[in-house]
Amino acid sequence: MLSAKIQDALNKQVTIEAESSQVYLAMASWAETQGFEGVSQFMYAHSDEERMHMLKMVKFINERGGHAKVSALTAPPSEFGSFKEVFQTLFEHEVFVSKSINDLVHITLEERDYATHNFLQWYVSEQIEEEALARNILDKINLIGDDKSGFYLFDNDIKQLITVAPDQGQN
């Protein structure tokens, strides 16, 4: 059984995961309108993955006797000044999500909820991967500089980073 404090914290994270999906969806739409096919495909896939993270948490809350809540979401920006700005925003967002997950893990230890603590370890590992991926992409963009042909090649190459996530919505 989840304590009220844990349930509230998990529901806050559900909202963060849902908003993450929306942020990446907005990035995908922007990239698509700018002609960045690879980036848009990458962001659409990333949006789907974040939604799966949200669903996994919703199911966990409900299975543990809590009640997962669906809340209103903050609208993400619809314009991004540049290719680099999109990935800088992605990186900063992943750092924010990592901090939120870490705060949640801390609450589970304070509450001595070791089942939820164990469940969240998957998210901790996932965030390490997400931050590393975003940092790696930013490094590549910085290498490209302002080279238009480099952007073309990068847009084509990023398709290789698209992974089809296994069914993460099921526990």
C-alpha distances in Å from residue 147, one per residue of 41, 77, 157: 22, 26, 15
Per-residue 3-state assignment (H helix, E strand, C coil) for 84-151: HHHHHHHHHHHHHHHHHHHHHHHHHHHCCCHHHHHHHHHHHHHHHHHHHHHHHHHHHHHHHCCCHHHH
Q: Of 73, 66, 76, 70, whose CA–CA distance to 55 is shortest?
A: 70
- Confirm or deny that 129 is annotated as ligand binding: no
Tokens representing residue 65 in the block: 């006797």
- Confirm or deny that 49 is annotated as ligand binding: no
- Confirm or deny that 53 is annotated as ligand binding: yes
Q: 145: left (phi > 0), else alpha (psi -120 to 50), else beta?
A: left
- Confirm or deny that 127 is annotated as ligand binding: yes
DSSP class of residue 67 equals -
- Confirm or deny that 34 is annotated as ligand binding: no
Residue with tokens 């006797």: 65
Residue positions forming the annotated binding site: 17, 50, 53, 94, 127
Residue positions forming the annotated binding site for Fe cation: 17, 50, 53, 94, 127
